[in-house]
Every structure is written in C-alpha cells, then in structure tokens.
C-alpha cells in the first residue's frame, strides 16, 4: 500500500536545492503511512497463524474422533466359564485322531456349561438368546487347547471365553445394566439381564484385545484382526521400496550427473513429471493388463501390488532425488575430479552421500503415498477378504487402507470401532516409517 504512495512523492521534489524540505516531506509521508503498514504487517502474520490454527483444529478433531471411536477396539470383554470336556458331549470316540479332535462338538460343551449357569432358561428361543452372549470363537479356542493337550478330555477346566461383539460392547460401556430401557442396543432385555447376572458374579472381565493384533480379517467383529493387512502392507511396501528406490536413484543420477542436455532428455524429463500426476487407478489397469494377464503373476499378491505401487512411486522419488543431487555444490565434484577421482567415484563417494538426506525424504513421501493407496489395488485383486496371514510375496494379501474400507462397509456395528482402530494402526505405521527416515537422515546428514 505504501509503495503506491511513493511515486506521488517524486513530483513534489523541486528540481534544484532545498534538500531539507525534501527530507521532511518524505519523513512525513512515511510517518503518515507507518501505522497502516504496521497494521498490514500484523494482519499478514495473523492470517498465517489463523491458517495454522485452522489446520491444527481440523487435525485435532479428526484424530480425537478416531481415537475416541477406535479406543474400545483395543480391549474386549471375556466371560469366565467352567467347561467340562466330556467325550460324550464332544461326540468323540475312544481314541480320537487329530481330524476328529478338530471336528468335535465344542459348541456343545460351551452351550452345556452356559446352561448350567442359567438353569432357568428352558425355551428354545431363550436358549438361543443365551448362547448368543458368547462369541463362537470360543469353540476354536477350546479346539486348539484340546488338540495341543488331548489329556484335557474328561476334565473340567476354567477358561475365559470371549464375549460376543454386542455383549462385549455392553460390558465395555459404563451403562447401568439394571436399567435396560436406557440402553440403545440390539440385545433383548433378557440378554441384558443375563449379562448383568454374569457381571455381578464377577465372571466378566475387560482385557486387552490380543486377537486384534494376532488374527486376520473375520466377519465376526470380536474375532477380526489387523495382522493380515499389516503384514500385507509391509510386504507390499518392501517390494515397492526394493524396486523403486534403486531404479529411481539410478535414473536420477544419470539424468542429473551424466545425461547430455538434448531433446531426448527433455522428453524423458517431461514424461517423468507427467507420470507423477497420473491418477493411480491407471497404474492399476496397467498392472492388470501387463503383470497379471500377460506375465501371469498371481492375483492379489503383494509382489504385484508392490510392482504397481512402485510404478506410481518412481516419479516422486526421481524428482526428489534430482533436486537433492542438484543441491550438492559443484565445488565438491570439482574437488573430487581435481584429486583424480573418476566420475563414478565422485558420484558414489561424494555426491550421493551428500544428497542422501534429500533422496530419503523423497522416498518416504513416495512410500507414504503408496501405503495409503487402494484404487490401483482394486484392479489387481487386493481388495479381498483375507483371513490367513500372508507368509510370502506371492500369497494372497490385502493392505491396511483396504481393510479400513472393508470394515467401514460391514453391517455389524462393532466394526465401527475396528475401522477407527485400523486407522490408528495405519497412522502408527506411518509415524514409524517417518521416524526411520528422520533417523537415517540424521545419520547421513553432512554439512559443507
């Protein structure tokens, strides 16, 4: 604003003499606009602070809502049961084999023991309501225990079995169970009363939900875990890193250090910049056409996901690496050559180590993008229901953001908390990745 006034000062200056008056005029002019300029300055800073505050506020709202919703997923309610593993109810023969032990009627012994706790429940419908209090994962738990130790058959054991998702939600909340009318739940009043009986007897407990970190996906919220998706993401990103990092750095070094400036290198450069802006679904279509349909790589495998995502990450890393290489002062290269180093030695010994922090930053940005990507994976079959934790690069796998999407789309209400918990795990993964980058950067950082 004050700039606009300045030209008006000039005509007032007489062509000859009286320098004193000129000074006084300018000073007066400056003084009169000073307050305005200070105000503008303050406003400008205020806008900046306001922008930061607004974005922080959004972030805080987002994170708080995710944490509040997701926190309950890290705990689960368990019910103490005394289970008699008698061979008759289990429908086992004299000397059962492994196959028979696996297929035994574990549901039957659990139902029997529930029945003993609530002998007054007789009607078929009521019984069904009673059995629904516990998760059916109890059967698999018992099955694992018995297979590991067949001597348990015939004994009565005390185990804590996981509650069903809705019973669990009720026990984890602070509702007053004696007033069922005040609770919004799909459970019947009778089920709430039974839950209260168990709670009053001290036979329920809320514990850390280990299953969430050890299991793969499940259609029962209380049995669903993040492990398969986490391992899937790790494997996919490993492939992405192993492919994109060396290729991108090699490309950047050649383009920056060795390539002549001509039409061809210009063309390559334009194309790299364009690739960085291509929507990710396009890479998915390419992956489907080339890697799956032509090279016959397996569908849904982390190796294909990794290759597709590395195509997407390559331009980001190349651009960042080139910028980092460009920032290394030419004097370093000249000094190296002056001492008799070959071009290759100059790059490996001097330029690359100095550019490493910048290259790593670019790599992490690229990988973080790849970590959050779902669209290209849809085309190559990684949006899938995966229960078994993937063991290698060719096993069927899914990734964290896909798991978030699949859970958000599930009808069972307890998946709401799982969705948020999966987001928390995704964020922690991202923070860890960034932390590693910061550490590496610290290690490589050199000043000149």
CB 232 within 8 A of CB 386: yes
3 state DSSP class of 228: helix
- The angle at the Cα of 116, spanning 111 to 119, to the nearest 5 degrees, equals 110
Q: Which of residues 149-168 bind another protein (CB under 8 A)?
A: none
From 84-92, 179-187, 316-324, 438-446, span contacting another protein (CB under 8 A): 179-187
Q: Which two tokens stand for residue 164?
A: 């069903």
Q: What are phi and psi of 367, to 5 degrees?
A: -70, -35
Place of tokens 């005390």: 158
CB of 247 to another protein, least distance (A): 9
Give 300's contacts (C-beta < 8 A, 6+ positions apart). 380, 381, 382, 384, 386, 396, 397, 398
CB of 300 to another protein, least distance (A): 6
Q: Which is nearer to another protein, 416 or 437 (CB)?
A: 416
Q: Is 94 in the site for another protein (CB under 8 A)?
A: no
Q: Which is nearer to another protein, 56 or 336 (CB)?
A: 336
Give CA separation, 258 vs 250, 320, 378, 397, in Å.
Answer: 11, 17, 39, 41
Q: Which is nearer to another protein, 212 or 245 (CB)?
A: 245
CB of 55 to another protein, least distance (A): 25
Q: Which of residues 258-277 bind another protein (CB under 8 A)?
A: none
**Binding characters for another protein, 182-201, by CB under 8 A (x = yes):** --xxx---------------
Q: Is 423 in the site for another protein (CB under 8 A)?
A: no
Site residue total, another protein (CB under 8 A): 48
Which residue of 14, 48, 154, 246 would you call a contact of another protein, by CB under 8 A? 246
Say how far apart CA 151 and CA 148 lie, in whole Å.
Answer: 9
CB of 408 to another protein, least distance (A): 7
Q: Is 252 in the site for another protein (CB under 8 A)?
A: no
Q: Which two tokens stand for residue 191?
A: 């089920």
H helices present in 71-188, as ranges: 87-90, 98-102, 106-117, 124-131, 137-148, 165-172
Which residue of 70, 168, 305, 381 would you call a contact of another protein, by CB under 8 A? 381
Q: Is 413 in the site for another protein (CB under 8 A)?
A: yes
Using the 8-state DSSP alphabet, how is residue 119 labeled?
T
Which residue of 303, 351, 371, 425 would you call a contact of another protein, by CB under 8 A? 303
Q: Which of residues 278-297 bind another protein (CB under 8 A)?
A: 292, 296-297
Q: Which is nearer to another protein, 368 or 380 (CB)?
A: 380
Which residue of 30, 234, 408, 430 would you call a contact of another protein, by CB under 8 A? 408
CB of 396 to another protein, least distance (A): 4
Give CA separation, 347 vs 247, 294, 344, 383, in Å.
Answer: 16, 38, 5, 42
- The angle at the Cα of 92, spanning 86 to 93, to the nearest 5 degrees, equals 120
Say how far apart CA 85 and CA 139 lie, in whole Å.
Answer: 12
- Number of C-beta neighbours around residue 295 at 10 A: 9
Which residue of 5, 207, 219, 326 would you call a contact of another protein, by CB under 8 A? 219
CB of 246 to another protein, least distance (A): 5
CB of 324 to another protein, least distance (A): 16
Q: Is 243 in the site for another protein (CB under 8 A)?
A: yes
CB of 41 to another protein, least distance (A): 45
Q: Which of residues 305-364 bind another protein (CB under 8 A)?
A: 306, 348-349, 352
How many Cα atoms within 13 Å fall on the side-chain side of residue 304? 31
CB 430 within 8 A of CB 357: no
Q: Which is nearer to another protein, 15 or 184 (CB)?
A: 184
Say how far apart CA 404 and CA 406 lie, in whole Å.
Answer: 6
CB 240 within 8 A of CB 313: yes
3 state DSSP class of 269: helix
Say how far apart CA 415 and CA 409 lie, in whole Å.
Answer: 9
CB of 367 to another protein, least distance (A): 16
Which residue of 393, 433, 440, 444 would you call a contact of another protein, by CB under 8 A? 393
Which residues of this protein are in contact with another protein, per CB under 8 A?
99, 102-103, 140, 184-186, 216-220, 239, 242-243, 245-246, 292, 296-301, 303, 306, 348-349, 352, 381, 383-388, 392-394, 396, 406, 408-413, 416
């Amino acid at each position: 604003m004050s700039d606009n006034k300045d030209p008006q000062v000039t005509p007032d200056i007489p062509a000859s003499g009286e320098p004193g008056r000129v000074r006084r005029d300018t000073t007066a002019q400056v003084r009169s606009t000073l307050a305005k300029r200070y105000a503008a300055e303050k406003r400008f800073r205020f806008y900046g602070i306001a922008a930061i505050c607004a974005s922080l506020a959004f972030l805080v709202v987002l994170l708080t809502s995710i944490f509040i919703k997701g926190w309950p997923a890290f705990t689960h309610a368990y019910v103490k049961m005394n289970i008699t593993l008698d061979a008759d109810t289990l429908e086992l023969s004299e000397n059962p084999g492994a196959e028979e032990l696996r297929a035994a009627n574990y549901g039957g012994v659990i139902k029997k023991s529930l029945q003993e706790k609530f002998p007054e429940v007789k009607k078929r419908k009521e019984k069904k309501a009673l059995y629904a209090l516990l998760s059916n994962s109890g059967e698999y738990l018992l099955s694992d225990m018995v297979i590991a130790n067949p001597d348990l058959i015939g004994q009565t054991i005390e185990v804590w079995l996981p509650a069903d998702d809705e019973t669990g939600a009720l026990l984890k909340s602070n509702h007053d169970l004696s007033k069922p009318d005040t609770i919004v739940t799909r459970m019947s009043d009778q089920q709430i009363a039974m839950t209260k009986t168990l709670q009053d007897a001290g036979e329920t407990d809320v514990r850390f939900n280990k299953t969430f970190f050890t299991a793969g996906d499940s259609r029962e919220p209380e049995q669903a875990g993040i492990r398969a998706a986490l391992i899937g993401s790790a494997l996919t990103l490993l492939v992405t890193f192993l492919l994109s990092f060396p290729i991108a750095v090699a490309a950047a070094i050649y383009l920056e250090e060795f390539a002549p400036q001509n039409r061809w290198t210009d063309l390559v450069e334009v194309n790299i910049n364009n690739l960085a802006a291509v929507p990710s679904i396009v890479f998915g279509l390419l992956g489907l056409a080339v890697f799956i349909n032509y090279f016959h790589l397996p569908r849904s495998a982390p190796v294909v996901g990794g290759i597709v995502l590395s195509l997407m990450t390559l331009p980001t890393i190349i651009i960042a690496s080139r910028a980092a290489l460009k920032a290394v002062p030419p004097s370093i290269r000249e000094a190296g050559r002056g001492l008799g180093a070959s071009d290759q030695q100059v790059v490996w010994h001097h330029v690359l180590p100095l550019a490493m922090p910048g290259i790593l930053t670019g790599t992490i940005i690229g990988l973080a993008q790849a970590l959050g990507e779902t669209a290209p994976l849809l085309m190559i079959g990684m949006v899938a229901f995966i229960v078994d934790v993937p063991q290698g690069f060719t096993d069927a796998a899914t990734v964290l953001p896909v798991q978030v999407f699949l859970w958000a789309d599930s009808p069972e209400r307890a998946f709401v908390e799982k969705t948020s918990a999966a987001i928390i795990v995704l964020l922690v993964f991202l923070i860890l990745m960034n932390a590693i980058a910061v550490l590496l950067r610290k290690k490589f950082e050199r000043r000149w």
